[in-house]
Structures are given as structure tokens and as C-alpha cells.
Amino acid sequence: MPETLLIHGNPLIGLYVRVNEDVAFIGVRDEKAKRIIESELEVKVTRTTVAGSELVGAMMALNTSGAVVGRYVREKEIDRIERKIDVLVADLNINCMGNVIALNDRGAVIHPDIDESIAGEIKDFLGIDVAKGTIGGVKTVGMSSVVTNNGALVNPNVTEWEIERIIETLGVEPVKGTVNFGSEMVGTGVVANSKGYVAGRDTTGFELGVIEEALGFI
């Protein structure tokens, strides 16, 4: 059976964790979560806050090339993250960069209201294609999707136009689904890379099957 998890008694594990192919950042001290994430995703876990928040999954966007955080990140947090990966501090009023960027190692779909100059910085820093868009009509694309190098689970309200944008930009074929017994904001309930995934404890067996299909594990 796939591993499911609560963090602080909460199945919204995607709010607390951000992961790439090699490392996971988690905002809380939780040895069980650390052990499961390291085992299932084959990564090393680093504990940090971002802008003083434990909600690292919401506050940080991440792929193998680097991490993107908002302007209110603290110097000691940057130092801790940079021990593992390069960091771009985006000078935006939006602080929750994990909420507004959906990315893998090929590309990123970003919140449509992000300035072109910041979009250009993200493109240059990560060395990937960047396109503005929504997923399921939702501007917070990072929480309306779970994207890896092998696949994508997306909000079930995603349109054909949005699907084409994901395929063109991220190079993966998205699959519609939900998590945690019907939540459409799938990024709140799944943490994944190309090697594995962990879902929130309230995720049903049917939903787990869709997640495995979407992310290329079956």
C-alpha cells in the first residue's frame, strides 16, 4: 500500500513540504514525516521555515535547478536552503511562491498576474520555459496541481486549453484527479517526485490509483 501521512494532524501535507529529485524541505519537526518522505521519495530532508512560516510547501517553488521564494524570506533561511540548492528571491507582493508556480525540470506554469520581469528572472534562473496560466480556472497553479518530471495530477476542472499549456510547457500529460476525499486543490495533499509520492491520510483508495496513474507509477 502507498504511504499516507498526517503532518500536525493535518492531511494537507503539500502545504508543509516541497521536494525535488534530491532534497525535501519541510517546515515542521516531525520524525515520522521525515522518515516516510526520505524512504518513499529517496531524498534527504532539510528542515527550515520560509519567511518564518512552517508552510514551506506553500512558500517555496522548487525543481532540481533551484528554489524560488518571496521577498520576506529571512537571511538565515536563505543560508539554510543554499546549503542544498541555489535560491532566487522574487521581489513580488505575492509571498507564497509554491502556491503560484507549478514546475518541473522542463518548465513552469505561473500565476497570470506575475510581472513579466519576474517571469523572466524565473526562466533565466531555472533555465526552463515559463508560461502564464491557470489550472482548473485557478490562478494558484502550484496548489491546483502536482507536477513531476514524469507526470502531473491536476484539478478536475482543468480545461482543454489549460491541458495543452501544461503539455507544451511542462512536457507531461496531465491527469485529472482529487485528493483527501474530494479536494480539487491536489497540490495541498500530495508530495511527489519521479521516484515516489506520499499523499494525505484522507486520500481514498480510488484517488491513490489516479495519483499513481497521473505520476507514472503504473
**What mean pLDDT comes out for the span 124-128?**
98
Determine, yes or no, domain membership for 170. yes
What digits encode the pLDDT tens for the residues 71-85? 999 999 999 999 999
Determine, yes or no, domain membership for 86. yes
Determine, yes or no, domain membership for 3. no
CATH of the domain at 116: 3.75.10.10
Determine, yes or no, domain membership for 6. no
Determine, yes or no, domain membership for 1. no
Determine, yes or no, domain membership for 118. yes
What pLDDT is stored for residue 218 in this prediction?
86
**What mean pLDDT comes out for the span 52-81?**
98
What digits encode the pLDDT tens for the residues 153-206? 999 999 999 999 999 999 999 999 999 999 999 999 999 999 999 999 999 999
What pLDDT is stored for residue 3 in this prediction?
86
Please give the Cα distance from 183 to 186 (Å, whole number): 6
**What mean pLDDT comes out for the span 145-160?**
98
User: What pTM was estimated for this model as a whole?
Assistant: 0.97
Task: Specify the number of domains making up the chain.
Answer: 1
Q: From the CB of residue 9, how many other CB atoms can be counted at a distance below 10 Å?
A: 6
Determine, yes or no, domain membership for 70. yes
What pLDDT is stored for residue 143 in this prediction?
98
Task: Kindly state the DSSP code that residue 14 receives in the 8-state scheme.
Answer: G
| Run of H or E residues at 164 | helix 160-170
Determine, yes or no, domain membership for 209. yes
What digits encode the pLDDT tens for the residues 10-30? 999 999 999 999 999 999 999
Q: Which domain holds residue 97?
A: 11-214
